[in-house]
Structure 1
């Protein structure tokens, strides 16, 4: 009705040819924005329909509170009343949010500098600010808005926020559970009531997304135990009048458990029913498990994709007999049409060259679509470490139902780092390190780094470069230039210094997607210093062979990485074998290092880690094994509770010389810190270690093993992995040095 009243004066005019268009009331805006909205120009014919269209177009711009058209002879007069524009937006009282974060959230909702202003803008802004605070459990947040008019029909908007206190979860109840205890279900949830560590985990802050995820965990728990008809009847979230306490009540209906009595395949399985049956993870005679059904559907989809069927549909059905509590699982499969990949496109890369991404691809153009190769290709591109996100879209080709295009979408991240760090351990005391590293130089995928670190026992300078595709077949080449000094522990109170300048060239040959074989050649010189406190063994070696010993080590190695997360592993294994052989120079020797790690996810929260390491060294061509290539044992990374590096032979001066043979056996049982929910960055563990180092001529015997056990805390801190342990020796010998409490930042297993 309002628009009709405004439009009415423009109606009932005789059509005429426009001689001029005049704009009145414009204070701040550009006249061009008005003229561009008008559906007529000077010289055009004017009539009632064009007048109505002009009013609608001008109101649609959102720039005007009121618009009127007058006719003065053959002149059209456009009279406008401009809306105010927002000049500035400011905030006060913010503690939880950065002002830029809120400003961006408002701008995304059309509220920001240069935007039209009206009362609805204020209402939307206040609601958006409160929504941002609600997402962080500030249910008592209040917003006061002050609007200050300024010149040229503009306004300044100031938001004053009173944040209040965080609302925390006081109680979580799960009602209706009979077969499973309420405490068991509560342990599944990421949301928790307040505890002594919730200040760190923030798990006592309510969020709807977190609650939905927890509800799915409860649902999955029951579905994996045969409760096919499990249902969450209701979820109630209540907040106290003072908006400080939240109570959550979840009501469930368990239903009855079902046992799988049969499995059927229905549909088209390409005449390979046997291959598909091999992928079935559901087992008759056991309770129905939802995760096994989901895993089977995924396996079927991947198997279809392996044969070129990119859009196969697999639907699981259940045939339930409620009287007997039995179920038959039916997998309905429809492969659709087989397709091949017409083209692979790369998108999102502005620095990285296309070839760096394409050379990781195992799915080729003009070849049959292979889902396994596409997934492998995505994983390989992601493992480059150059991108925050890697996704692959499969697009149908219009007019060609048997063809698809793949689009590799990447989101690049910064690959250059300048890092300064400090660490502290009981043995090395303060250590400092600095590094300048650049991966993906000029988008080539190559690496260049300079590292410097210093501590009480070691000082290193390393310059290294890596070309991951030295050859087109994916053979990598690494070149290292280094200068290392070390000061092994000496009981005389001083440390003797060993200096090792050298260089090495290594090549890595990928044999499978998980296995890499390394080989290389280096040259290095070891200098035995003449400072006070040089042990007798080193003094004798120096007198016999000289202070300078040159070697040309040939390196051969193999590594296989299958852990789910190298930083915080919960399952999978890691294996490596490395052999150094020096047949030329002043010292000739062979040195072998082997390691095997295995992780088992015993439950959702318990992880068992096992680690074994073996080191062997031998002198070659009639020369003794060089002392400075000895292994050391004891302490973190070896057998905890014993002093760092205290295993092996002891010189008559009291210095620890280590030995050419080493064995480490470690086990750790991890669980989250009580009160931290399912957070895996902070965990407690129980450990049991065994191992020793044997001197030259001493047989490697299990009777000589030292052993210890204890407890500890592991934390993935901002400066690196941190481990703290306390334990007691289980098997020790006279003269062993004990250190029950040990810690280190950046320690290995």
Structure 2
């Protein structure tokens, strides 16, 4: 039928019909006309387009009743709530976030296309975890105000596990050698933990790159992966993977040639070349050389320098010439440093760790150091720095630091009952990054009948703008040890310390501190002879004012679970005034050595020495203790050293600890380093002042253990046997430790 044009008229009123949920203001705000304007066909068509563009309506039409414009709308339904049934593999919040990222969630429009998209996204999430038989059924239930409750019922099915991985075309290396490179594995006794027998295309692609890198690193420059075949069983429960290779021949390096522009510093760049003529071609050496060239360029401000590599093959001789071409580009400076992801931690807590400054030349060394310092704070699970170009300014860049925060506090409450301690309550609150300031606050309380303590400690890592830290600790400890005669005696130690840390290099820190403490010894039958002697000289209450001086050098790649690097610390403590006058020194050395790609050797040595000053004896409660965790495993905790006539273990004023651990991946876990087994050999002892230090007194042990990087810190479970022990030594073969590497 012909369309009849409307004669223009003045609008006297605008009315909306069919609204149930939407705000009428949204409709009026989208209209291209108002009351008092002139209405015509062009404005009517524009109004329809604007209302459809809001996405709120399935249908819109305009009726004219004289000078009144009537807008008749048919609203889209909106999602009131999203519910799930049958979820076991995923947390509900994980699926909700994935749906929301795809435009599906509460308050969003509802239609059939939205439901189809949601079902496909849920299935895609399950595919990433090898649930290839997962099914999703959607139920939509209308509720008031034109809204819909959506329920996704999931039938997860069973996990599709890798049944077989085969490699063909390999001649230089056996299939077992190549399979050992892969993260994907067939089923094993530990795959319930590693999940390495679950197929994912992304994991397979990563494993293929590992094979490619392995061959390139052994000189096979013509290596190629001809194809991969992934076959799923009809019941979608098992998967077979076939990989076909073309190896080619290995090449050795004939020469390395540098071309292009090297800022007039060719000799400096030449010292960074890791490729050695006459040796087999290694892809890792070439990559390391390119990386170091790029770092040298970045150190001089060339953030976007390129180092192009190419190889010139001589198939007749089986040699290759490696050509490196330097293209520095423009030197740039850093315009702005931006930080994202820190919803709790304050910007200044992160910025004070930066060694690269704004409006300064771009310096790759300082940027890497800045990233490492932020990561060592321990407040973030991820830390990454991105270099971004500034539009219209080719000589400027912005740096974006992305962080992902993690919980840095812990609250522990526990209660227990025993015939010895009666009712014991333990509580602690510890926060590493309190209120996002970077400060530490800890409160510990123990109400055991035999051992009571209260301690408050705080650390300000930037007490001054120069990075000097300040730590304060106030404590009160009491204990009622039970001796071999069954009697209990009372010890109490109130005290307070303040310590400052002064960094003088990026890895070295000097510590100075001052403290005040008191030793209170109660009387009881069977009190240890060493404490009786202490009371005879100093009285039941004795005071000391220790001054500490220390130094630490941190060069490990990870303080919690290191795999390479070195750590050293020296601590000197002396008290020259008060009842107790003494000097005490302790030195610790740790070295971690990676080898054979998956193994790590950890070495630890600790020396301790203490002496009384000005003719006074060394205070017994400053003794070192040996045996057990952190010392010589297999021997009972603190059981080494002298034993007095009451059967009490008093430790000694001299200590030697030697520890070694060899970490090996747990069979079946692939390359996972969070769960490993280790073998250990320990040796050490403590000596009292009246005992000569003789190596023949050393106790030693060996054994195996399990190491797990748990959410609360590194955890160790060890079982061992004594190598050298004496008849009176107390043996404890199974021991448990959490919180530290050694």
TM-score by length of 1: 0.90
Could you tell me how far 1:668 is from its partner in structure 2? 0.9
Could you tell me how far 1:712 is from its partner in structure 2? 1.6
Residues 448, 466 of structure 1: 8 Å contact kept: yes
1:517 and 2:510 are equivalent in the alignment = yes
Give the SS at the match of 1:188.
coil
Give the SS at the match of 1:665.
strand
Matches within 5 A, 1:535-574: 535-574=528-567
Residues 421, 719 of structure 1: 8 Å contact kept: no
1:488-526 CA deviation, whole Å, 9 max, x = no partner? 674445564432211111111101111111111111112
Structure 2: how far apart are the matches of 1:390 and 1:742?
A: 35
Structure 2: how far apart are the matches of 1:422 and 1:167?
A: 45
Structure 1: how far apart are the matches of 2:717 and 2:453?
A: 25
Structure 2: how far apart are the matches of 1:400 and 1:43?
A: 51
2:714 corresponds to? 721
Residues 12, 48 of structure 1: 8 Å contact kept: no
Aligned-residue CA RMSD (Å): 3.2
Could you tell me how far 1:275 is from its partner in structure 2? 1.0
Residues 16, 74 of structure 1: 8 Å contact kept: no
1:417-461 CA deviation, whole Å, 9 max, x = no partner? 43347999xxx9999753223444555433332223577986542
Residues 686, 710 of structure 1: 8 Å contact kept: yes
- Which residue of 327, 340, 343 corresponds with 2:320? 327
Give the SS at the match of 1:585.
coil
Structure 1: how far apart are the matches of 2:444 and 2:631?
A: 25
1:378 corresponds to? 371
Aligned pair count reads: 738
1:13 corresponds to? 5
Matches within 5 A, 1:600-679: 600-679=593-672
Change (3 A) 1:456 1:283: farther
1:706 and 2:699 are equivalent in the alignment = yes
Structure 2: how far apart are the matches of 1:398 and 1:123?
A: 40
Structure 1: how far apart are the matches of 2:673 and 2:608?
A: 31
Structure 1: how far apart are the matches of 2:49 and 2:388?
A: 40
1:301 and 2:285 are equivalent in the alignment = no
1:203 and 2:196 are equivalent in the alignment = yes
2:352 corresponds to? 359
Structure 2: how far apart are the matches of 1:55 and 1:403?
A: 47
Bigger shift: residues 263-272 or 220-229: 220-229
Give the SS at the match of 1:530.
coil
1:5 corresponds to? none
- Which residue of 430, 455, 480 corresponds with 1:462? 455
2:725 corresponds to? 732
Structure 1: how far apart are the matches of 2:68 and 2:28?
A: 14
Change (3 A) 1:455 1:177: farther
1:399-432 CA deviation, whole Å, 9 max, x = no partner? 54434444545555555543347999xxx99997
- Which residue of 478, 494, 500 corresponds with 2:471? 478
1:174 corresponds to? 167
Could you tell me how far 1:707 is from its partner in structure 2? 1.8
Residues 568, 680 of structure 1: 8 Å contact kept: no
Structure 1: how far apart are the matches of 2:435 and 2:140?
A: 50
Change (3 A) 1:454 1:578: farther
Structure 2: how far apart are the matches of 1:421 and 1:573?
A: 37
Could you tell me how far 1:225 is from its partner in structure 2? 1.7
Could you tell me how far 1:200 is from its partner in structure 2? 2.1
1:508 and 2:501 are equivalent in the alignment = yes
Matches within 5 A, 1:28-107: 28-40=21-33, 52-68=45-61, 78-107=71-100
Change (3 A) 1:84 1:406: closer
Give the SS at the match of 1:372.
helix
1:305-327 CA deviation, whole Å, 9 max, x = no partner? 21122221122222222332222
2:187 corresponds to? 194
Could you tell me how far 1:364 is from its partner in structure 2? 3.0
Residues 423, 745 of structure 1: 8 Å contact kept: no
- Which residue of 257, 264, 272 corresponds with 1:279? 272
Give the SS at the match of 1:129.
helix
Could you tell me how far 1:557 is from its partner in structure 2? 0.9
Residues 561, 714 of structure 2: 8 Å contact kept: no
Bigger shift: residues 589-598 or 152-161: 152-161
Could you tell me how far 1:559 is from its partner in structure 2? 0.9
